[in-house]
Chains A and B, each alone.
Chain A
Amino acid sequence: MSADVEERTLLVELLRKNLLLTGTHVGCDTTQCGACVVHVDGRAVKSCTMLAAQADGAQVTTIEGLAPKGALHPVQAAFRANHALQCGFCTPGMIMTAVELLTHNPKSDRTGNSRRPRWQHLPLYRISQHRQGRRRCRADDARDGLRSGRCIHSNTSSRRIYSLP
């Protein structure tokens, strides 16, 4: 696609306002929370901290593009199966981030510390896959992720719901 934008237009603004792809959310708008994560040429990036012009010529994948219409990506299915979301606002960013994590670290699991880079301070970390031949998140992993708490919303309520300390 092509679009004419002002130089100072952010990638997330192009996606949401010009292209009406509103699955990508703006959380903090200060390069911290990760709600706005999309893939640019296969890399997970914060679309609030990239100019639309910087993505010129690149392939951008948003949460809408992860799976065919009506289907779920395995990571989306795993989030759903394990109730790995609270209000859901930052979930698109969590999923886009998790998808890249699994792309680079297909053996990531709860115990594979040595194989896992430092993802611990992301909204969601510790995801297992290929367990019994299926990709899925484990509910306790999602809990750990919420406890680590980069989700910018409702840490208190997630503690309540998941009975976290």
Chain B
Amino acid sequence: MYPFEYLKPADLQSAVKSASASGENKFIAGGMTLLPTLKLRLARPDRLIDLSRITELTGIRVEANRVEIGAMTRHADVARSAELRRALPALAALAGGIGDPLVRNRGTIGGSIANNDPAADYPSALLALAGIVITNQREIAADDFFTGMFSTALKSSEVITQLRFDIPKRAAYAKYPNPASRYAMVGVFVADTATGIRVAVTGAGPCVFRVALFEAALAKRFTPDALEGLSIPADNLNNDLHGSAEYRASLVSVMAKRAVAAALGG
């Protein structure tokens, strides 16, 4: 790692202030992506601002119709929360399938959303559930948040404080994990929400995306069969040593059907 300055502010205001200092500043949450990146010298920030001391960023609040999760809440805590497992089991189950238990003990929901890795799990949940990203400055709808590979609508001194989800009628996530990394080769989150059926796909393309074709079919009939014969074009899908674009396109259909079946309790 190149040298950097390390700060661990106790409150959000100081964190934001530090982030506006000159040079390149990076917030660090769990560090499960950032630290490996620094070790490979793929990034050279002047300053790391650790958010872990800011207690208001941690915790899960379940209300009648919605769930709010603090950005610094670790995957293991999302997966284990009894309240969340009752209110939004699809999200708790997704968190329990991220990486491995050691990664889940460090990684955070806010960090994952802010990083927007093309194969991360959480972005698909946020997009399919029409979640809201709450920052120190504003609220951003999921549809406007993810702007491309590793890129989001966040500004440089903007910090995610909470993620808000309306509780859907039913939802499920089905992922085909890379057997080594457990990143999604393809992960599909299907949600039956107040604003309609939403299907979000991660791992397949450069950035999480919705599939209007599947959403329309499922709006007519919410069963795995409704997706029979439907597929998305392989153009622009990821093509790497783990799988071809055509393979991933096929997985999108398969995982979508499995997610629908799971949402129906199958």
**Residues on A facing B (Cβ under 8 Å):** 6-8, 29-32, 34, 37, 43-46, 49-51, 53-54, 56, 97, 100-101, 104, 117-119, 121-122
Q: Number of residue pairs across A and B with beta carbons under 8 Å?
A: 75
Q: Take A54-B31, A54-B50, A54-B52 as given contacts and tell me if A43 and B8 are in contact as well, using a CB distance cutoff of 8 Å.
A: no
Q: Is the CB of B101 within 8 A of A31?
A: no
Q: Is the CB of A8 within 8 A of B31?
A: no
- Which residues on the A side are within 8 Å of B210 (C-beta)? none
B79 contacts the other chain (CB 8 A): yes
In the bound complex, how far is the Cα of B32 from the Cα of A121, in angstroms?
18
B96 contacts the other chain (CB 8 A): yes
Contacts A51-B31, A122-B101 aside, 13 further interface pairs with beta carbons under 8 A come to: A7-B48, A29-B39, A31-B32, A31-B35, A34-B100, A46-B102, A53-B50, A54-B50, A56-B8, A104-B80, A117-B101, A118-B97, A121-B100
Q: Is the CB of B182 within 8 A of A121?
A: yes
- Which residues on the B side are within 8 Å of A46 (C-beta)? 102-103, 106
B150 contacts the other chain (CB 8 A): no
Q: Is the CB of A101 within 8 A of B101?
A: yes
Name the CB-closest residue of A to B182.
Answer: A121
| Those 8 A-B pairs whose CB atoms lie nearest each other, nearest first | A7-B6, A43-B105, A8-B1, A49-B35, A53-B6, A46-B102, A45-B105, A31-B36
Min CB distance B72 to A, Å, is: 13
- Which residues on the A side are within 8 Å of B38 (C-beta)? 8
